[in-house]
Structure 1
Amino acid sequence: MTDATLALVDIGANLTHESFRPDFDAVLERARAHGVDQIVVTGASAGGSRAAHALAQAHPGFLHATAGVHPHHAHEYDDATDELLRQLVATPEVKAVGETGLDYFRNYSPHAAQIAAFERQLAIAVDCGKPLFLHQRDAHADFIACLDAVRARIGRAVVHCFTGERDELVDYLDRDCYIGITGWICDERRGQHLRDLVRLVPADRLMIETDAPYLLPRDLHPKPSHRRNEPMYLAHVCAAVAAARGEHMADIAALTRANAQAFFAL
């Protein structure tokens, strides 16, 4: 099997990032050539969500979007932002609310501001009925508390770019969350534990993503000179997940595609 025959869905790529501006069309062409049929473009700020929506409009059927405010930008969240997100999630191009959640590792926004922005976006998900695209780092207890407050009133939710420990994974799975796995699993320094934990994710809750331009797989050879990750490397992530689970790459490609299409209503 070649990459081109895989039919993969990248559930999280930051294609609005400035690093993609010089060769955006070529990035999409390389993704298609390596078996990526659909990409969900992450909205992580007011401006980024607008841009993700515009990309999805320009590439119907291939690119889709999320709309949200990442916890790094939580201090920017105001009524105008809330209204913008509500307008965007009402469009067919936007498939999920987020990226939203909590990040106490970087603390680019105060904890209180992060929680407030997260709660407002959870309310949007309750109101619109679309899935949640979630981020959590070093904030598990507060994250779970916020999620639990509305879990019975929201539908599908994915904890994207999961890099946590077993107890966190169990908490997410107990709440019927989907799990997004990135190239972090390819990092022998930081991601070794993921190779064990990914086996615990039920087949119907597993999805894969690049989080491009971040998280270039560490074991990729040869590495691109610019060190920028892009969706074409999703096949490499798929292979790593398959190896860790002791399954065929084609099977992981098929089940993660089916899960993503069902989750995002692609």
Structure 2
Amino acid sequence: MQLIDIGANLTHDSFDHDRDAVLQRAREAGVSQLVVTGASREHSPKALALARKHPGLLYATAGVHPHHATEYTAECDAEMRALLSHSEVVAVGECGLDYFRDFSPRPAQRRAFEQQLQIAVDTRKPLFLHQRDAHADFMSTMRNFDGRLGAAVVHCFTGTREELFDYLDQDWHIGITGWLCDERRGQHLRELVRNIPADRLMIETDAPYLLPRTVKPAPSHRRNEPMYLAHIVEELARDRGEDVAVTAANSSATARAFFRLPAA
């Protein structure tokens, strides 16, 4: 299998002591390419630097997560635009709305989201989106840009059937993580993933977060890493009633087309 992890937070400081070993384990587990998530003014440049250090293996996004929306100034907007001028930066985001934690005021979240959607319009690069407990405002904001945006993926989908079909009705892509493997919170996804067309489905670890709870033995440090993408695709294939090789091949082809990645 050749897998593509579309969302890994490899600039996280938990990887500082063994990042090269993490990448080697990922390759050994069949992960041929990874998209490093940029989610703040601090980490988006780091994502680009990491992609440049590993050409052909790593790519990056550039954006500001709603948790950091208060840092989205005019200077920040210029910084994101500069980062997105680089070919290694393949998507705008992580951006969107998060009303679950409200780490930034909601008006600030909406402003930062709108400004990044405008960047996507201007650059014609795809969107890497975040939405949690903000579906109505999220959809309303996206509709304000109807007809002007390119491709979009709602990353780390954990929502309801209604939310899923709202996204699919817009021809957006869906990113599935190890949340699927959480018997406490992700059981509903086991049924929903059957409804995602193969050309709209991508997989991700969101490492170092969301270690799949069905990984045995569980690592003592509880840190997720890209090598566990193989475990996620196995669970996903089972829930979709597919051979794992089919799910792997389809998700990789979809990711490569979405992010315009060259062959690994």
TM-score (norm 2): 0.98
Residue 212 of structure 1 corresponds to 207
Instruction: Report how many aligned residue pairs link the two structures.
Output: 261
The C-alpha deviation readout for 1:23-67, integer Å capped at 9, x for no partner, is 000000000000000000000001100000000011000000000
Question: 2:84 corresponds to which residue?
Answer: 89
Give the Cα separation in 2 of the matches to 1:123 and 1:69: 13
Does residue 240 (structure 1) correspond to residue 204 (structure 2)? The answer is no
1:151 CA displacement: 2.9
Q: Find the partner of 1:164 among 155, 159, 168.
A: 159
Name the residue aligned to 1:52: 47
Letter in 1 for 2:211: L
Structure 2 spans left out of the alignment, 5+ residues? none
Which AA in structure 2 matches 1:50? P
Report whether the alignment pairs 1:124 with 2:119. yes
Q: Which shifted more, 238-247 or 147-156?
A: 147-156
Query: Separation in 1 of the partners of 2:60 and 2:13?
Result: 17
Other-structure match for 1:146: 141
Q: Any runs of at least 4 consecutive aligned residues in structure 1 with deviations exceeding 3 A, and if so which?
A: none
Give the AA of the match of 1:187: D
Of all paired residues, the percent bearing the same amino acid is 66
Structure 2 counterpart of 1:64, one-letter code: Y
Separation of aligned partners in 2, 1:190 and 1:151? 32
Taking only aligned residues, the RMSD between alpha carbons, in angstroms, comes to 0.4
Distance 2:195 2:45 in 1: 36
* Corresponding residue number in structure 1 for 2:23: 28
C-alpha separation in 2, matches of 1:100 and 1:233: 25
Amino acid across the alignment from 1:60: P
How far the C-alpha of 1:74 sits from its partner, in A, is: 0.2
Q: Distance in 2 between matches of 1:181 and 1:253?
A: 13
Cross-structure match for 2:177 = 182
State the partner residue of 1:231.
226
Equivalent of 2:65, from 66, 70, 92?
70
Which residue, out of 29, 34, 47, partners 1:39? 34
1:195 partner amino acid: R
Task: Give the partner amino acid of 1:188.
Answer: E
User: Aligned equivalents of 2:146 and 2:2: distance in 1?
Assistant: 32
Determine helix, strand or coil for the equivalent of 1:225: coil
1:258 lines up with 2:253 in the alignment: yes
Post-superposition shift, 1:136?
Answer: 0.1
- 1:106 aligned to 2:101? yes
Alignment partner, residue 7 of structure 1: 2
Equivalent of 1:19 in 11, 14, 22: 14
Deviation of 1:157 after TM superposition, in Å, equals 0.1
Write the distance in 1 (CA, Å) between the matches of 2:165 and 2:2. 29
2:247 and 2:197 mapped to 1: Cα distance? 12
SS in 1 for 2:171: coil
1:202 aligns with 2:197: yes
